[in-house]
């Protein structure tokens, strides 16, 4: 089995069934083989996200504000936004394996597990989207997560800092706020189902950030760097000054962040 070629195919495919099948194939291969053959060539530089032919990509500021959740279209726009994040996260998790082949088998298994979780999250959201009368690609999206992957492709430490420890951790801050907004509409069947899905995603995303935190700190140790380099990396990518909603200190601590880090990120109440 050409493990890295299959990963590449999974990342480039815009078919979720193909991504799921190939990811399972890679995970099964890892569970049956102690050693994974190294790739024959350097990882490919992806010039466009796999969803480019499914979704209209716009600048983040061009996206419509999602406020009206009483209509099916209003709710679907929010479901679509979360589904897009989960879809993007599938490719990012697979790329974390594909792009850094010198890592241990434990690392490979961790990110293949994350990819499988993200596929499951996406499929739950896609099912709800279809029930609402829409499909993935019916609303515009931005390519922020893909852009972050491109920017950090040559620096593994930066990738672990920016993707799981910044973007995914930011999801831990935002999800409780979304759930709060939806709570007074939970009697609506579609909203009730959406809340249940978000609760599943929220719990499992804490585990994903934990994995990112572990491998970030492992790489810091390997490269003989202090973990406070995290803030230098955020500054390098102009993320330190970005507006953040109220930080979810409890979830971040569970995921591996220290109180000192959370305070530096802007929450003085930790």
**DSSP structure string for 174-228:** HHHHHHHHHGGGTTSHHHHHHHHHHHHHHHHHHHHHHHHHHHHHHHHHHTT--TT
d(CA 7, CA 26): 7
Per-residue model confidence (pLDDT) at position 268: 66
CA-angle at 149, arms to 143 and 154, nearest 5°: 150
Per-residue model confidence (pLDDT) at position 51: 97
Distance of CA 178 to the CA centre of its chain: 17
Per-residue model confidence (pLDDT) at position 1: 83
Helices 16-32 and 3-12, axial angle in degrees (round to 10): 160
Per-residue model confidence (pLDDT) at position 62: 73
Rounded alpha-carbon distances, angstroms, from residue 212 to 114, 184, 223, 240, 268:
10, 34, 16, 19, 24
d(CA 59, CA 145): 12
Per-residue model confidence (pLDDT) at position 67: 64
CB under 8 Å, gap of 24 or more: what pairs does 36-44 form? 36/3, 36/101, 36/105, 36/108, 37/3, 38/101, 39/3, 39/4, 39/5, 39/101, 40/2, 40/4, 43/4, 43/8, 43/98, 43/99, 43/101, 43/153, 44/8
Low-confidence spans in the chain with pLDDT less than 50? none
Please report which residue ranges of the chain form alpha helices under DSSP H: 3-12, 16-32, 72-98, 105-131, 144-151, 156-162, 169-182, 189-222, 229-236, 249-255, 259-264
**Fold entry, domain 3-33+63-264:** Ferritin (1.20.1260)
Per-residue model confidence (pLDDT) at position 242: 77
Per-residue model confidence (pLDDT) at position 40: 80
If phi > 0 it is left, if psi is from -120 to 50 it is alpha, else beta; for residue 63 that is: beta
Tokens of 268: 């003085």
Per-residue model confidence (pLDDT) at position 39: 86
Kindly report the backbone phi and psi dihedral angles of residue 141, in degrees, each rounded to the nearest multiple of 5, phi listed first. Answer: -135, 165
Return the C-alpha torsion angle 109, 111, 113, 119, nearest 10: -150
d(CA 92, CA 94): 5
pTM for the structure as a whole: 0.95
How big is the chain, counted in residues?
270
Neighbours of 260 (CB within 10 A): 10
pLDDT digits (tens, 9 = 90+) for 110-132: 999 999 999 999 999 999 999 99
What is the residue extent of each domain of the chain? 3-33+63-264
Per-residue model confidence (pLDDT) at position 66: 65
Tokens of 68: 């009206």
């Amino acid at each position: 089995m050409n493990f890295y070629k299959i990963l590449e195919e999974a990342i480039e495919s815009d078919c979720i069934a193909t991504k799921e099948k190939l990811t399972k194939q890679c995970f099964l291969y890892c569970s049956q083989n102690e050693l994974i053959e190294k790739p024959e060539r350097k990882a490919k530089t992806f010039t466009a996200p796999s969803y480019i032919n499914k979704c209209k990509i716009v600048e983040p500021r061009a996206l419509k504000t999602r406020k009206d959740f009483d209509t099916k279209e209003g709710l679907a726009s929010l479901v679509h936004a979360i589904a897009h994040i989960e879809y993007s996260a599938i490719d990012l998790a697979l790329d974390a394996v594909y792009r850094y082949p010198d890592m241990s088998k434990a690392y490979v298994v961790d990110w293949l597990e994350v990819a499988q979780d993200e596929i499951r999250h996406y499929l739950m959201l896609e099912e709800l989207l279809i029930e609402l009368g829409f499909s993935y690609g019916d609303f515009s999206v931005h390519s922020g997560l893909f852009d972050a992957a491109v920017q950090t492709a040559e620096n593994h430490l930066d990738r672990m800092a920016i993707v799981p420890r910044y973007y995914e951790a930011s999801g831990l801050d935002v999800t409780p706020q979304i759930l709060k907004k939806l709570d007074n509409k939970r009697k609506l069947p579609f909203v009730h189902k959406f809340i249940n899905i978000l609760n599943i995603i929220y719990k499992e995303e804490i585990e994903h950030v934990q994995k990112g935190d572990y491998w970030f700190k492992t790489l810091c140790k390997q490269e003989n760097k202090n973990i406070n380099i995290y803030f230098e990396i955020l500054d390098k990518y102009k993320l330190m000054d970005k507006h953040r909603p109220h930080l979810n200190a409890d979830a971040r601590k569970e995921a591996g962040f220290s109180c000192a880090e959370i305070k530096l990120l802007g929450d003085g109440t930790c």
